[in-house]
Amino acid sequence: MATKTTKTTKKRSVWVFENRWDDRHGDQGSNVKVFSTKAKADEYFAKDIKTYLENYELLAIDGTVSIDNVSSLSTDNIELGPDDIPIADIQKDAIKSGWLNIDVDNSGTNAYWSVSEMEVE
């Protein structure tokens, strides 16, 4: 009598980094990367946020972001207000929240980042 064997596929987690952006000229883009560990995804997440802020000259010399440079910045726990926010605090909370949204100005220039866990076979 033949026995039937079933193959089981083990699922594993990966972490997906995504960045979407729009600018005032109507250009749009996105960047998606997959990481095997959350630590690697979070490291890339923090670095990409800082690079964006530097490239758009939104990061002050003292390493902060202010309402003078950005019209809104938000995560689960941070909302840009009258006080400057250190980049390290933004990165830390974006990682904790799993997302960050920045509206540079009211002309349509904005960016959104996220890191989320996904199961794959």
- Provide the domain limits for residue 70: 13-120
For residue 70, tell me if it sits in a domain.
yes
The span from the CA of 106 to the CA of 98, in Å, is 24
Q: Does the residue 20 lie in any domain?
A: yes
pLDDT digits (tens, 9 = 90+) for 38-97: 999 999 999 999 999 998 888 888 999 887 888 888 888 887 777 888 999 999 999 999
pLDDT digit string, tens, across residues 27-53: 899 999 999 999 999 999 999 999 999
pLDDT of residue 79: 79
Tokens read off for 108: 């349509």
Q: For residue 3, what pLDDT is reported?
A: 67
How many domains does the chain fold into? 1
**Whether pLDDT at 121 is above 90:** no
Residue 105 predicted with pLDDT over 90: no
Average pLDDT over residues 99-117: 88
Residue 1 lies in a domain: no
> What is the pLDDT, as a whole number, of residue 2?
63
Asked, for residue 113, whether it belongs to a domain, the answer is yes
Which of 36, 29, 14, 34 has the alpha carbon at shortest distance from 110? Answer: 29
